[in-house]
Amino acid sequence: MNRWLLLPFLLLAALALAAYPRLLRFQSQQAAEAAATQTASQLRDGDLIFHTSLSAQSQAIQLATKSPWSHHYDLAFGWTDDRIYCSELIWKVYERGLGRRLGTLQQLKDFDLSHPAVQAKLRERYGRQLPLSEPVISPVSIFNSPELVTALQR
């Protein structure tokens, strides 16, 4: 076959391969929106939603806590109110507003920090000075709290 005839097919294949990850993200976004719409009527104000992300940070959190729950916002995971990660926000709102402690506070050193992905994220965040005594509340600790009941599971 003439290589000039093959060129349009190669270009089309290259475009398809380049668009594939974006298509998957679009499809997963559509699936997430459909699931949210489907479950919205079953949720009430105050319900906590636990989920898993596909990010490298999420993977490190899952490995360190041995749990699928992982979503966080404060990249340094500091226990101050200057920047807050999602589990910290939930814990502090319930503790300060209602006097209820969802889950058990731990220290960074209480988690499994041995996996290379976890170590890479720790080095990225803290360098060589790991705050091993820093208070931490993990999503799985909140998830396992006897103060909560499961309202909906997907």
Query: What are the structure tokens assigned to 71, written together?
Result: 């979503």
Please, are residues 117 and 63 in contact by the beta-carbon 8 Å criterion?
Answer: yes
Going by C-alpha positions, the residue among 53, 57, 55 that lies closest to residue 68 is: 53
What the chain holds in terms of domains, given with CATH numbers, is 56-143 (3.90.1720.10)
pTM beyond 0.85, yes or no:
no
How far does Cα 23 stand from its chain's mean position? 22
Each residue's pLDDT tens digit, 45-85: 767 777 677 788 788 888 888 888 776 554 556 777 777 77
- 104 pLDDT higher than 90: yes
